[in-house]
Structure 1
Amino acid sequence: MASRFWAGGSDTDEDEEKKTTSEEESTDDSSSSDSDTEKKGPSKFMVGSSDSDSDDDKRVVRSAKDRRFDELKGTCEEMRNKLNINDWGTVQSLFDKLNKQMEKTLKAADSLGAPRVYIKMLVELEDRLYATLANKELTKKMSPTNAKALNTMRQRLRKHNPAYAEQMEKFRANPESEEEPDSEDEESDEEDEAESGAEGEEEEDGFEKIKSAKEKKKDKLLTMDPKEITYEMVNKKLQEIVLSRGKKGIDRQDQVEMLSYLATVAKGPYQKVEVLVHVVSALFDINPSMSSHMAPPLWRRCVGVLFEVLQLLADNPYIVMDEHFEGNEDRTEEPEAGVDVKVWGNVVAFVERLDDEHFKSLQVIDPHTHQYLDRLKDEPLFLALAQKVSDHLARTGDTKSLARVALRRIEHFYYKTDAVYDAMRKLALQQKEAANVVQEEAENGDEIPDEEEEVAISKEAVVVTVPADFTLSESCMELMNQLAVTIYKHGDERTRARAMLCSIFAQAIRDEFYTARDMMLMSHLQDNVQHMDISTQILYNRTMAQLGLCAFRAGLISESLFALGELCGSGRVKELLAQGMSMSRYQDKTPEQEKLERRRQMPFHMHINLELLESTHLICAMLQEVPVLATSGMEKRKPLSKTFRRLLENHDKQTFTGPPENVRDHVMAATQALMRGNWRKAYDYLASVSSWSLLPNKTEVLDMMKAKLQECGLRTYLLSYGSFYRSLSQEQLCKMFDLPDKQVHSVVSKMMMDEHLSGSWDQPTSTIVMHAQNPTRLQALAEDFADRAGALVDLNERALTLRTGGLRGEDDDAGPRGGYQDGNYSGQRSGRGQGRGRGRGPMLGGLSGYDGGGRGGRGGRGGRRGGFNSSGFSVFGGGDARFQGGLRQKSQAMQFERMTNLGRVADRRQ
């Protein structure tokens, strides 16, 4: 049995081998049989043919090779489809299948070289593989199985592709040649297969003829002599391109090139303007998505086309641009010069779209690269275009559109300091000089070499520079004021509001605090900003932040805290300033909301440093809150900054506090030192914050902060430790806080006038004599109320003892209920008429709170604990003690006492 099993196994292997060989030799076997005896195989379909048997044999061999070649091409197409969807698991299996088919194709073709289709597939596969590996975001989103297949493909290509390295290099050098040159080379080696090769060439030539016919039909106008092209031909071709816009399968790049050529052969300025306007629209169509930005070369080329349009409109004022004009399709000739004609287009919309595209590109580009700096250099180009558009609108009298363009211009200036503005002016001058050099080279006959389309576009974009007649005002504020006046006259409500905020922002960064504050108060924008659009609210928040920073640089601490308090206390500074996304666990945002929020983000060069903003807010809060905390034993005030109080409480709760690391730690450490009067240590903590290096006047700001810390330290020290002194020397205070005599005298005198410090000046000795603090009116009234309450309780007790059977021998020893004990008026609970304790002396230190309570109608209720402590500084917290039946008991006791006295008098008389 075993021998049969092994024999059967060998037989099956031999059968499989025979099957594989029989498939390859089936065509030869079938061709050798007669067509009359057997009607099977390919010979069945060759019956009735006029060709010879040898010709039939050759055709059958050709079909077998073609079948292998078609299978190879089909697998390549399937691999391309899977590459487009990044299905690398399927690509891996198809790659194995492709290699097996490649071996069969080489056997069938008896060739040693790989077909061009196979080489092309290897090149595409290698390029797509390395492009996918370079895209980190895409690889992170892949499933583990797909990522594993991607890495496997990379390793297999490293081992497989070196064998075809030379052929791949040749293909990369000349990728536009025919796809199947190998098959034709093989056919040329055998003269017997010439007819079949001719037939295949006829089909291929037929396809090539159709393709070339289409190209000739497309390029018919390009091949004609420009002198032979008529106005009607250009107009017809223009309408054809306009009608094909937006359709599927249309190459937008070809449309741009065709329209650009039509502009060169246009017959007159009117037709040229009409064509150039459509060139701008076609350039915008290349990037129709709002989520992505236009490529910088296309952007520059679009600006160059608009420069040409504006120049034609300036030279031919009879051409009027109207966006509601539908166009004259039936026009067959150029209109006469001087007759007003309309052309479709909206230059203002084009300028706004270019501004938006420039803004979006700055949002996406990495700000730490040279590409970002190169993109910033395009700003003078846009400003030159906006100025030319403003001049055109001023000539045509379109004041409403003029205000819109003026707002776009002012939004490029408001955040620039004088130094940045001067640098931009120098850049514009350099670009003008470069434009003159390029113009001279063009006049000398230098030509640009022919390259691919994208390279040509980039070359043209480099040529587009600032026009020679573009000038920027020497003063940025002068230019902004001119633009703001135009907006205030002709703009709508939103435009005027944004122009006002831009002007306030510009004044604030130039340290004109009072001017900026007055403009903000007069505009009343703070009352209506919540009803404005989100971009205007972001601009308002940015303006308030700069206003607060300006107040701090000017030494106005309370004004700075007022401006920054609401913004920094919200906990969403990044989101409010549009400088980042706030990821909150309790807030879920839809993808649409996140996309809209990302579109509103400010570019990096327009950011306000958040660390500087936070340090300014906390330092201002510290300088305002520390004196209040020093007087908390005497008066309780509402916190000026809840954020600062919360951070200070959390810092005090920490068991161990290490050295400060961030801004908050530095401010909290400075606060602890300042509360002890150590202003030098507090200044060292604050001066070590790294954000001060962002200020141009760093030394002046640090000197101002040092003076504020000295003054705040003096006030805090007097409020905290003044009660422990009988007198303080002015000279000693000057040495402790490094302040001049006049400033110390001024600060202390102001504290005395505000009743924060109980003392007076001794002018001959220049000392501060501390006074014992007298109780306030509220404290005096509370003390009087406590005395009266104690007397009333004592009277009630006496009346009760008389009713119940006399004083029982306690008249001499017992003091009044709740009497004077150990220097404090001890509040006893009045209950059911039983008094406790004996009075033993006058009040020495103060009055402790009377706690009225108990049950029944005879006692007092509800008095809160409070009163004066030994030093008399604590707040009297006593409430209104309500005595139920107190007055009634007093009157009853007085009547009872009178009756008792009358009885005693009667007994004596008897």
Structure 2
Amino acid sequence: MSRFFRSVSDSESDSESSDNESFISDEELSSDEGEQSDEEQENQEEQPKKSRFLKGAETDSDEESDEEFGRKRQVKSALDKRLDEMNSSIKAIENGQKNNDWNLISTEFDKLTASVNKATSGFDAIPIPKFYIKTIVEIENMLQEAPKEKGGNKKKGGAAAKGLNNTKQKMRKITKQYEQLIAEYKKDPEAFMVEKEEKPEIPTPKKADTQKGAVGTATVDESELDGFTSVGKGGKTVVPITADNIFVKLREVMESRGKKNTDRDEQIGTLEKLIEAADTPFQKILVLLALIPSRFDTNLSMAEHMQTDVWKKVEAEVSLLLSIVEKEQQFVIREDADELDHDDKDIVPEKGQVINIRGSIISLVERLDDEFTKSLQSIDPHTTDYIDRLRDEPTLYAVLVRAQSYIEKHNMLENLPRIIIRRLDHLYYKPEQVIQSTETMAKSMLPDYITSNVITAEEPSQLIHQLCTYLYKQSASVLRTRAMLCHIYHYALHRHFHTARDMLLMSHLQDSIHQADISTQILYNRTVVQIGLCAFRDGLIKEAHACLQEIQGSGRVKELLAQGVQAQRYGQQTSPELEQLERQRQLPFHMHINLELLECVFLTCSMLLEIPAQAQAGPNNKRTISRPFRRLLDYNERQAFAGPPENTRDHIMSAAKALASGEWERARDYILAIKIWNLMPETQAIKDMLVSKIQEEGLRTYLFTYASYYSTLGLAQLATMFDLPVARVSAIVSKLIWNEELSASLDQVSQSVVLHRVEPSRLQVLSLQFAEKAANLVDQNERLLTTGRDRQ
């Protein structure tokens, strides 16, 4: 074959072949063709014609190219690669020993240790390499001779001394870990290195006889499987979990936690097997401290809640952990404990010895409580699922009581307020009967040895008092503020209005509440509203209106009480992040204050105050006591057709118009027809109080409206008109005269009211006009502010 054809392949372009042929003479071509043997021509004919796009691809595979150049491809297993890494590290350590380079020795020994740990751990683990033990002994011997060469190290600088110190620290830990193997090596190094490891022979499986072209299945006896191991996910050998390798498996799970592409369900399954295989208390404690956070890791979203079945498993495991540490008092779980280095060995404490294990009981309990609240926020409250979920609250409360007892017992006083405020949050809004029931159920779920030195009361009111009193003594202002608000709320709920009002005024929380966090501000709003409802139940109309006016008059009651998200007006849109935060702050449905009842109470109080004030001031006076009520009343009066009342507002507006015209019976009927009163405790007493207030305010309205038409009015006649005792009518009229609200005098002999006609002076008329204009200006200002705030 001519030398010009050696580098030319069939895949070259036509232009190239034509150029090459132009340099070749016919004689050379004919001579070259004559030189080709028949065998070469046959080989060329057998080769397939290659595409010109595969220029330069003279072989079909890499193996053919390797054979062409005399090389053979070598495939190494993962174990062989690790052994090569170990050998390279050992050679580098030997060079460092020759040059006395401790930095190199320290670095390469770290690499060697990491490679050995990878090879000796996991499902395809191998025994500890003996050359690793030999290297450890050599470095240890070199360290013993290092003090003699201390002067040489000083000349090299501080880097060498630092490397020497690092190597010493590492060797102390390693020699302790492989103490037995190092002793065997030192006893007889040659025998230790020559001794071969026995490897089990794996018999080849028998192949099932199948006919050609037919598919058959063969059953394998257990004897044929002898020598094989089961393979799990990823082709790794599954090593059965025993009491001896629990800590090794636990370390593998903890090292993989939080890494990318980690299967959390598989981790939880492994930990569940570990807790079943654990025998000693130390093993169970460590596995539970890893299993409970792993279950929490399955739900990383702040918006979604943990599934109920998973939550119940976590609650059972937290209770199991507490029961173990309560019985085994030599093991104490503390947040400030040092990391326990037990070298994957079980620890059996001696008598009187206390083993501190790093962990946080309070964090696990708080996360459990938070997940319970999130689940209640997500479940539809109008279904049976919400009631079923709410039945788990006594169980959670029992866990809180148990955790409090454990924290008290071990003097973790810095965590005690956190658990007590959680316990208070579950009780303060409940009636005393429900509190008593919760305490009884929790006590029945707990062992008899669970006691508390801080909280000893069993009566509900005393229990709330002790919980709050303990929090008052804490340095954190947030805890004191929340405890005070919970205490006031509890007093208001049980009709102790004056106590609750005095505590709120003496605490001066109204001056600094705007600086508190949002959850505390929500609790403050709830407390003020509850005080207003308490005042209404006691018949204190002015006080109830004063407490409810700020919240109810804002138009954002749902947001202020964290009972819903207000619909945005004027096309405003909130960001998804803010909306999510708003929804996370929402209270569970069973903690809500009925907004319809709240509005009914507020409008009723406004009616009883506003209608007599309007009658006294006259039709031209713009002074208002309740702006929301006056707005609704004006809107109702502008309606061309007023049908029968349908909802709560319509009933109150109809009652207000009837009361203004002196028809107190109609006003009474409209108010009593409201069905929302049945939701309040002691319904009949509240209705009787409302009837009495309507009679009294009807009398005052009548006197203010028709006083100019009479010269005298008989007390008996007034008592008959408003169905009141004569003594009560006399007391009301006397109070009006004393407060200078009515120009009249009381004639005790004739039992009548003598009305005086007093013409106002010029100065009084001008003063009234000035006051009216000032009130109009204030009214316009407030309307502008309200409109601007709504548009923002």
TM-score range, shorter chain: 0.5 to 0.7
- Per the alignment, in what secondary structure is the counterpart of residue 193 of structure 1? coil
Are the equivalent residues in 1 in contact too, given 2:405–2:450 (CA < 8 A)? no
The residue that corresponds to 1:212 in the other structure is 231
Q: Kindly indicate whether residue 669 of structure 2 is the aligned counterpart of residue 669 of structure 1.
A: no
The residue that corresponds to 2:512 in the other structure is 528
Q: d(CA) in 1 for partners of 2:364 and 2:270? A: 21
Q: d(CA) in 2 for partners of 1:425 and 1:39? A: 90
Structure 1 residue 515: Cα displacement: 0.8
Q: Kindly indicate whether residue 569 of structure 2 is the aligned counterpart of residue 549 of structure 1.
A: no
Amino acid of the structure 1 residue aligned with 2:710: Y
The residue that corresponds to 1:749 in the other structure is 734
Q: d(CA) in 2 for partners of 1:470 and 1:238? A: 31
- Per the alignment, in what secondary structure is the counterpart of residue 485 of structure 1? helix
Amino acid of the structure 1 residue aligned with 2:516: M
The residue that corresponds to 1:575 in the other structure is 559
The residue that corresponds to 2:477 in the other structure is 493
Structure 1 residue 428: Cα displacement: 4.7
Gaps of 5+ in 1: 1-35, 41-187, 433-464, 783-865, 868-873, 880-910
The residue that corresponds to 2:386 in the other structure is 372
Task: Deviation per CA, 1:593-625: give whole Å up to 9, x if none.
Answer: 111111111111111000110011111111111
Q: d(CA) in 1 for partners of 2:486 and 2:662? A: 42
Q: Which has the larger radius of gyration?
A: 1
Structure 1 residue 343: Cα displacement: 1.4
Q: Kindly indicate whether residue 701 of structure 2 is the aligned counterpart of residue 716 of structure 1.
A: yes
Are the equivalent residues in 1 in contact too, given 2:232–2:238 (CA < 8 A)? no
The residue that corresponds to 2:319 in the other structure is 307
Structure 1 residue 639: Cα displacement: 1.7
Q: d(CA) in 2 for partners of 1:482 and 1:272? A: 36
Q: d(CA) in 1 for partners of 2:237 and 2:495? A: 63
Are the equivalent residues in 1 in contact too, given 2:398–2:442 (CA < 8 A)? no
Counting only pairs closer than 5 Å after superposition, residues 141-180 of structure 1 correspond to structure 2 as none
In the alignment, which of 178, 185, 192 is matched to residue 212 of structure 2? 192
Structure 1 residue 698: Cα displacement: 0.5
Structure 1 residue 466: Cα displacement: 5.5
- Per the alignment, in what secondary structure is the counterpart of residue 661 of structure 1? coil
The residue that corresponds to 1:405 in the other structure is 419
Q: d(CA) in 1 for partners of 2:579 and 2:619? A: 50
Amino acid of the structure 1 residue aligned with 2:341: N
- Per the alignment, in what secondary structure is the counterpart of residue 294 of structure 1? coil
Q: Kindly indicate whether residue 640 of structure 2 is the aligned counterpart of residue 655 of structure 1.
A: yes
Are the equivalent residues in 1 in contact too, given 2:562–2:585 (CA < 8 A)? yes
Q: d(CA) in 2 for partners of 1:385 and 1:491? A: 26
Amino acid of the structure 1 residue aligned with 2:213: E
Indicate how the Cα distance of structure 1 residues 476 and 219 shifts in structure 2: closer, same or farther if over 3 A, else same. farther
Are the equivalent residues in 2 in contact too, given 1:380–1:466 (CA < 8 A)? no
Structure 1 residue 322: Cα displacement: 3.0
Amino acid of the structure 2 residue aligned with 1:561: H
Q: d(CA) in 2 for partners of 1:213 and 1:345? A: 32
Counting only pairs closer than 5 Å after superposition, residues 440-839 of structure 1 correspond to structure 2 as 474-490=458-474, 492-586=476-570, 587-633=572-618, 636=621, 638-776=623-761, 778-779=763-764
Indicate how the Cα distance of structure 1 residues 764 and 534 shifts in structure 2: closer, same or farther if over 3 A, else same. same
Structure 1 residue 323: Cα displacement: 3.2
Q: d(CA) in 1 for partners of 2:340 and 2:762? A: 88
Task: Deviation per CA, 1:627-652: give whole Å up to 9, x if none.
Answer: 11002239947422111111111112
Amino acid of the structure 1 residue aligned with 2:298: I
Q: Kindly indicate whether residue 312 of structure 2 is the aligned counterpart of residue 328 of structure 1.
A: no
Structure 1 residue 422: Cα displacement: 3.9
In the alignment, which of 334, 354, 359 is matched to residue 340 of structure 1? 354
Question: Does 519-528 or 637-646 show the bigger shift?
Answer: 637-646
Are the equivalent residues in 2 in contact too, given 1:414–1:502 (CA < 8 A)? yes
Q: d(CA) in 1 for partners of 2:217 and 2:433? A: 75
- Per the alignment, in what secondary structure is the counterpart of residue 333 of structure 2? strand
- Per the alignment, in what secondary structure is the counterpart of residue 761 of structure 1? strand
Task: Deviation per CA, 1:193-228: give whole Å up to 9, x if none.
Answer: 04x8799x9xxx99xx99735599665233xxx5xx
Amino acid of the structure 2 residue aligned with 1:509: L
Indicate how the Cα distance of structure 1 residues 392 and 258 shifts in structure 2: closer, same or farther if over 3 A, else same. same
Structure 1 residue 469: Cα displacement: 6.1
- Per the alignment, in what secondary structure is the counterpart of residue 365 of structure 2? helix
Aligned length: 558
Amino acid of the structure 2 residue aligned with 1:241: V
The residue that corresponds to 1:261 in the other structure is 273
Amino acid of the structure 1 residue aligned with 2:396: F
- Per the alignment, in what secondary structure is the counterpart of residue 617 of structure 2? coil
Are the equivalent residues in 2 in contact too, given 1:626–1:716 (CA < 8 A)? yes
Counting only pairs closer than 5 Å after superposition, residues 220-369 of structure 1 correspond to structure 2 as 220-222=239-241, 226=242, 229-230=243-244, 233-266=245-278, 268-323=280-335, 325-328=338-341, 330-337=343-350, 338-369=352-383
Task: Deviation per CA, 1:402-425: give whole Å up to 9, x if none.
Answer: 001000000000111123334435
Structure 1 residue 251: Cα displacement: 3.0
TM-score (norm 1): 0.58
Are the equivalent residues in 2 in contact too, given 1:400–1:490 (CA < 8 A)? no
Structure 1 residue 271: Cα displacement: 3.0
Structure 1 residue 315: Cα displacement: 2.6
Q: d(CA) in 2 for partners of 1:505 and 1:218? A: 61
Q: d(CA) in 1 for partners of 2:311 and 2:457? A: 26
Are the equivalent residues in 1 in contact too, given 2:549–2:602 (CA < 8 A)? yes
Structure 1 residue 37: Cα displacement: 12
Are the equivalent residues in 1 in contact too, given 2:210–2:216 (CA < 8 A)? no
Indicate how the Cα distance of structure 1 residues 382 and 876 shifts in structure 2: closer, same or farther if over 3 A, else same. closer
The residue that corresponds to 1:118 in the other structure is none
Q: d(CA) in 2 for partners of 1:645 and 1:250? A: 64
Are the equivalent residues in 2 in contact too, given 1:758–1:770 (CA < 8 A)? yes
Are the equivalent residues in 2 in contact too, given 1:631–1:720 (CA < 8 A)? yes
Task: Deviation per CA, 1:343-376: give whole Å up to 9, x if none.
Answer: 1211111111011000000111121222211211
Indicate how the Cα distance of structure 1 residues 468 and 283 shifts in structure 2: closer, same or farther if over 3 A, else same. farther
Q: d(CA) in 2 for partners of 1:632 and 1:675? A: 13
Q: d(CA) in 2 for partners of 1:424 and 1:728? A: 59
Q: What root-mean-square deviation, in Å, do the aligned CA atoms of Structure 1 and Structure 2 show?
A: 3.2
Task: Deviation per CA, 1:536-561: give whole Å up to 9, x if none.
Answer: 11111111111100000011111111
Structure 1 residue 877: Cα displacement: 8.8
Q: d(CA) in 1 for partners of 2:322 and 2:616? A: 70
Task: Deviation per CA, 1:419-456: give whole Å up to 9, x if none.
Answer: 33344356557xx4xxxxxxxxxxxxxxxxxxxxxxxx
Task: Deviation per CA, 1:15-47: give whole Å up to 9, x if none.
Answer: xxxxxxxxxxxxxxxxxxxxx99999xxxxxxx
Are the equivalent residues in 1 in contact too, given 2:402–2:446 (CA < 8 A)? no
Are the equivalent residues in 1 in contact too, given 2:408–2:416 (CA < 8 A)? yes
The residue that corresponds to 2:408 in the other structure is 394
Q: d(CA) in 1 for partners of 2:362 and 2:306? A: 18
Amino acid of the structure 2 residue aligned with 1:322: R
Q: d(CA) in 1 for partners of 2:514 and 2:763? A: 44
- Per the alignment, in what secondary structure is the counterpart of residue 192 of structure 1? coil
Amino acid of the structure 2 residue aligned with 1:370: T
Gaps of 5+ in 2: 1-44, 50-207, 774-792
Question: Does 477-486 or 525-534 show the bigger shift?
Answer: 477-486
Amino acid of the structure 2 residue aligned with 1:623: L
Are the equivalent residues in 1 in contact too, given 2:672–2:687 (CA < 8 A)? yes
